[in-house]
Amino acid sequence: MTFKEIEAALPRWKPWKLPDERGLYPQISPNGSKRWHLRYSFQGEKKKISFGPFPDVSLKSARAKRDEARALVADGVDPLQKRRDQKLEAQFAAEHTFASVAREFNAKRANDGDKTISDATRKKNEWLLSLVEPKIGRLPVREITAPMLLAALNDIQDSGRRETARRLRSLVGRVLNYAIATGRAGNNPAPALRGALTTPSVRHHPAVIEPKALGELLRAIDGHSGFPSTNAAMKLSAHLFQRPGEIRTMKWADVDFDAAIWTIPAGKTKMRREHRVPLSRQAISIIRSMKDVAAYSEYVFPSFNPKKPLSENAVTGALKRMGYGGIMTAHGFRTTASSLLNESNEFHPDAIERALAHQDSNAVRAVYNRTQYWDERVRMMQWWSDKIDSLKQMNAV
């Protein structure tokens, strides 16, 4: 058979074959189209496989495909089944890209009952993972290699975001572990890259830890005339030294005035476990002062929109306007309290750590300390409020 013979073959009222060699033939349809087929026998069964249309697939290419198919049969492989498997493989890879598995992983974590993560954490994880999407997002998750991931992380690191790259390596590793657990990947290259990234320098939150300077700051806060929610949240931050995101989203329903306890739900805490905070007399007074202002909101410190809590940067922004930019932040009140409480030698270090809701690196101690130091923490919170009130009165003009 020649190219000209195939080209000259005319359609008939029904499909017909123009034989070549060893089972190969173009089939000519009534509409004039011509398509390559190969008839072969596999394990006693007659089968047919198509190689595509002529002239897109030339005579030479069709014969090469025929020879490949016959070689597979000789090796005990059905070429038609192999083609189906490859299509399924390609479809599987297309449906299980890194981006799709990452979205599934985040959604699962957000709906895992006791292991729920906050909306803020979920959104942050989504943002982090979006940073590597240009490089690996469309790749089948099981095809991601260490060099591919490192290239994506290096782009982020080279832009100056070293800490972001470090966190992202860990997060990508958790996504890949999930892919392995669900049968969509075979290995996780992320842990091997731990030493390949530049270790970021530790950045501490600015904080006032000198007693006299703290007294001056507290007086400045008392004298600040700003949005009521911001002023009260600033004052309460000094007394309770909890995480800024927890204080600004405090709800009336979480405060037990009779028991003098603020219960932070697990979904709002960094460690994803409920945290109870003893309230000093001063702290209760500050919270009660918002009753008339925020009675219309579920939040103790609402923003201008009563359905939303105070904004993330409200307290730090107020401190900047007071002249404390680079000196003190909302998070800095935690450093202040930790430093001065430890220096006081009045309280057990573990009680201070528990008050700060820090995670104990020792799992056994962590379980034990959840139920310990409550009475000491009650005494500590009142001592701390009295202490900062006394510092505020010192050298007051």
Closest by CA position to 49, among listed 84, 17, 18, 74: 84
Residue at token pair 């591919």: 148
Which residue type occupies 385? S
Task: Find the catalytic residue in 65, 275, 331, 387.
Answer: 331
Task: Find the catalytic residue in 184, 243, 275, 392.
Answer: 243
CA angle in degrees (0–180, nearest 5) for 337-369-349:
35
Instruction: Give the burial class of 148: count Cβ atoms within 10 A of its Cβ; 0-12 exposed, 13-18 middle, 19 or more buried.
Output: middle
Task: Find the catalytic residue in 334, 354, 387, 392.
Answer: 334
368 is catalytic: yes
Helices marked H in the chain: 3-8, 59-74, 79-95, 98-110, 119-130, 146-158, 162-181, 211-223, 228-240, 244-248, 281-288, 291-294, 314-319, 332-344, 349-355, 363-370, 374-393
Which residue type occupies 165? A
Task: Find the catalytic residue in 109, 174, 358, 379.
Answer: 358
| Max intra-chain CA distance, the chain | 109
Report how far apart, in Å, the C-alpha atoms of 162 and of each of 168, 196, 202 are.
Answer: 10, 12, 11
DSSP string, 63-132: HHHHHHHHHHHHTT--HHHHHHHHHHHHHHHHHSBHHHHHHHHHHHHHT-GGG---HHHHHHHHHHHHTT
331 is catalytic: yes
Strand 45-54: give its sheet, edge to edge.
16-17, 24-28, 34-42, 45-54
Instruction: Give the burial class of 161: count Cβ atoms within 10 A of its Cβ; 0-12 exposed, 13-18 middle, 19 or more buried.
Output: middle
243 is catalytic: yes
Beta bridge partners of 140: 97
Residues with active-site annotation: 243, 270, 331, 334, 358, 368
